């Protein structure tokens, strides 16, 4: 029997085939350098340009990704159950979160793909935000490849200051 990667949950297996193509078409997604992705385990870090960046990135990858997500998102009645079902890691913003870090280590130790948006918040102006100090040391300690996913153009789909999608 083939061993499942961390993040290979029922919700990922059920929704990915249904939503992948519509998301790619709706948001005009394309990936550059996708053929260079290493085999898991690895860490995927991205800039946080749009509130569904993680979903958009997953539409283009062939591996399930376990995302570290701000704890407040788990309190939302819509996103909370989805995040739990997907196996997302609850992370407190702006402070070292040892339990979350242990779960992140567990993901890569079990051969999975860990997804991080180290800026922690969706950008206000489309530019990269500040990465918390110590992030680089934590990534080095995990001793797996780090892949950067740069979202471009997503910011203007619904900027934080806008009332509706564009």
Q: List domains and CATH numbers for the chain.
A: 10-30+38-154 (3.40.1010)
Q: How far apart are CA 43 and CA 114, in angstroms?
A: 5
* pLDDT average per 10 residues of sequence, the chain (166 residues): 81 90 86 90 84 83 92 93 94 88 96 88 66 85 90 61 63
Residue 32: the pLDDT is 87
Pairing of strands 89-91, 113-116: unpaired
Does residue 77 contact residue 100 with C-beta atoms inside 8 Å? no
Q: How far apart are CA 92 and CA 11, in angstroms?
A: 24
Would you give the distance in Å from CA 20 to the centre of its chain?
15
Residue 54: the pLDDT is 84
- Is it true that the peptide bond before 156 is cis, omega within 30 degrees of 0? no
Q: How far apart are CA 86 and CA 101, in angstroms?
A: 18
Residue 85: the pLDDT is 93
């Amino acid at each position: 029997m083939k061993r499942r990667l961390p993040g290979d949950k029922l919700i990922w297996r059920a929704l990915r085939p249904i939503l992948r193509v519509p998301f790619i078409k709706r948001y005009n997604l394309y990936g550059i350098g996708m053929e260079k992705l290493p085999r898991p385990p690895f860490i995927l870090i991205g800039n946080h340009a749009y509130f569904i960046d993680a979903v958009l990135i997953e539409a283009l990858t062939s591996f399930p990704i376990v995302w570290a997500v701000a704890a407040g998102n788990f309190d939302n009645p819509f996103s909370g159950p989805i995040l739990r079902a997907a196996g997302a890691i609850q992370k407190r913003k702006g402070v070292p979160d040892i339990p979350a870090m242990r779960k992140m280590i567990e993901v890569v130790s079990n051969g999975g793909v860990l997804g991080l948006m180290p800026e922690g918040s969706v950008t206000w102006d489309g530019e990269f935000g500040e990465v918390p100090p110590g992030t680089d040391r934590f990534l080095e300690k995990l001793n797996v490849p780090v892949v950067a996913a740069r979202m471009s153009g997503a910011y203007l789909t619904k900027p934080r200051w806008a009332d509706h999608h564009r």
